[in-house]
Amino acid sequence: MSEIEKMYKLAQIANEGYDAWDMKDMYPPFTAEKQIELIKWLSSKHGIYIVNVDKYSIGFGMCIGDFCTKENFEEALAESINSLWQDLTEEEKQQVEGILE
């Protein structure tokens, strides 16, 4: 399961459908607009920052706050939300859910 799928499950975003052929849940797309809104929300609420940590070597690395990944940007962003989830207030969880819907 990807970090993005975990994030949608934590936020209790309803599945759009069910694919019986490969038994995977289907979630709304994690669009650029949603990603920008989450970045703005993280920055204003939690002082999270984004940096490139692998500038001079082969490959790509990214940190969002304390969460570093060799994966893509979307996975790093979702991982940061997932790891903060248990510490969020109910209001903050609802704000994240609103962004993801």
Average pLDDT of adjacent 10-residue blocks, the chain of 101 residues: 90 66 68 91 74 53 64 80 91 94 88
**24-62: burial string, b at 16+ Cβ within 10 Å, e else:** eeebeebeeebeebbbebbeeeeebeeeeeeeeeeeeeb
Q: What pLDDT shows up at residue 94? A: 95
pLDDT at 52: 55
- Find all residues with CB under 8 Å of 54, minimum gap 6, and list them: 60, 61, 62, 70
Query: How many CA atoms does the CB half-sphere of 57 hold within 13 Å?
Result: 8
Judge contact between 92 and 99, C-beta under 8 A.
no
Strand pairing category for 62-64 and 50-52: antiparallel
Annotated domain spans of the chain = 3-100
Residue pair 33/45 in contact (Cβ under 8 Å)? The answer is: no
Q: What is the pLDDT of residue 74?
A: 84
